[in-house]
Amino acid sequence: MSVRTYNPAVRVGNWNEDLCLEEECLKDFLEKRDNGELLTTETGRKAAFMMEDVKLSKDTSGCGYIKFGDNINIYNPAVQSSVCWYFDGQKTQVTASKHLHPCKRNTFTIKSIDKNKQDGDYLTYEEKFFLYSDHLGKCIANESGSENEQQCEPFQLSSEKTTFAKSPAPKSLKQAIYFEPKKDQYGAYWQILCFDPKMRMESQGQRVRANSKILFNHCKTNERLRVIEEKQLQIRTLFGFEHEVVANTNLDSHKAEKPDNHFMLIIEPVTESAEHHTTE
């Protein structure tokens, strides 16, 4: 006659160690929850910081031109997205997001490389400038837990030709663009070109009008800023899938830049034409 010697209530093996381990895991979870150190909490806090509202520069003079020192939004009408930065905790990527509301991710400042130019002076076509993000350094410092002065300084948009030392953009394998701590180097020089090739020479030295189509050119490599439209090459972020942004000139059969190279520098108030583009 067989006797049943085991049932689910019988404790076997390292039952005491397993019980202690479960208790420790629960205590660790409760402690992290009380201190706000859970991954979901930290991710939500980082996302909230990136999406904090930032005011664009206002066209108080009514002239409708871009000035040095302006806070701008860089908008691509072809994909109806704004250029922004994204920090995933390890590296910074430049993407184009459908979130068009001005925030810390998609608001940038134009600064002159010429000490004779001051904030408030007009930006002209083919004039070199820096493009700064005033908030990326703060985000990186918050992530690392150390807010030193160097990390909180503005970061500048830069690019270099793809080499063994400089990797291409991860999705499209085109010339990558990236943000780095502020320093005076030619790889961070940019300029605005007229989007119409026939008017490019005539526009040289003229003031850049806000909320109208332009080309964003990298001076060192002579490559235009471009949004990669292909869905299969999108980058996954906390805010959903976003387009990759690179330095690459995409020409049509007439040797003119395609719409994915066309951008608009947005300031407030938005003109009727720009408002039409952003709502299409």
Residue 5 has pLDDT above 70, yes or no: no
> What is residue 30's predicted lDDT score, i.e. its pLDDT?
74
Work out the burial of residue 101: count CB atoms within 10 Å of its CB; fewer than 13 is exposed, 13-18 middle, 19 or more buried: exposed
Q: Which domain holds residue 213?
A: 55-279
Query: Looking at the predicted structure, is the pLDDT value of residue 279 above 50?
Result: no
Residues 23 and 123 in one domain: no
Find out whether 51 and 84 touch, Cβ atoms under 8 Å: no
Query: Do residues 171 and 193 share a domain?
Result: yes
**pLDDT per position as a tens digit, 46-92:** 888 899 999 999 887 778 899 999 999 999 999 999 999 998 878 88
Whole-model pTM?
Answer: 0.80
117: pLDDT confidence band, cut at 50, 70 and 90? confident
Residue 45: inside a domain: yes
Question: What integer is the mean pLDDT of 246-255?
Answer: 93
Task: Answer yes or no: do 76 and 127 share one domain.
Answer: yes
The arithmetic mean of pLDDT across residues 14-19, rounded, is: 74
In this structure, is residue 263 part of a structural domain? yes
DSSP run (H or E) holding 17 = helix 15-34
134 and 43 housed in the same domain:
no
Q: Are 83 and 94 in contact (CB under 8 A)?
A: yes
Q: Where are the beta strands (DSSP E) in the chain?
A: 71-76, 81-87, 92-97, 108-112, 129-133, 155-159, 175-181, 190-194, 213-218, 223-227, 235-237, 240-247, 262-266
- How does pLDDT run across 189-241, given as a tens digit for each residue? 999 999 998 899 999 999 999 999 999 999 999 999 999 999 999 999 989 99
- Specify the pairing of strand 213-218 against strand 262-266: antiparallel
My answer on whether 45 and 100 are in the same domain is no
Q: Total structural domains in the chain?
A: 2
Q: Give per-residue pLDDT as tens, 122-158.
A: 999 999 999 999 999 888 887 766 555 455 788 999 9
Does residue 28 sit in the same domain as residue 92? no
Question: Strand, coil or helix: what is 201?
Answer: helix
pLDDT attached to residue 271 = 46
So what's the pLDDT on residue 175? 96
Closest to 188 (Cα-Cα) out of 266, 110, 81: 110
Same domain for 46 and 115?
A: no
The CATH number linked to 257 is 2.80.10.50
What pLDDT was estimated at residue 4?
57
Tell me what pLDDT residue 6 has: 57
Q: Look over the chain and give the mean of its residue pLDDT values, rounded to a whole number.
A: 85
Q: Give the Cα-Cα-Cα angle 180, 186, 191 (nearest 5 degrees).
A: 95
Same domain, 34 and 88: no
Q: Mind listing the pLDDT tens digit for each residue in 159-174?
A: 999 888 788 999 999 9
Of the candidates 95, 106, 97, the residue with the CA atom closest to the CA atom of residue 246:
95
Cα distances (angstroms) measured from residue 26 to each of 19, 43, 186: 11, 21, 54
Q: Do β-strands 240-247 and 175-181 pair in parallel, antiparallel, or remain unpaired?
A: antiparallel
Q: Are strands 81-87 and 108-112 parallel, antiparallel or unpaired?
A: unpaired
Residue 23 has pLDDT above 90, yes or no: no
Has residue 40 been placed in a domain? yes
Check whether residue 45 and residue 178 sit in a common domain. Answer: no
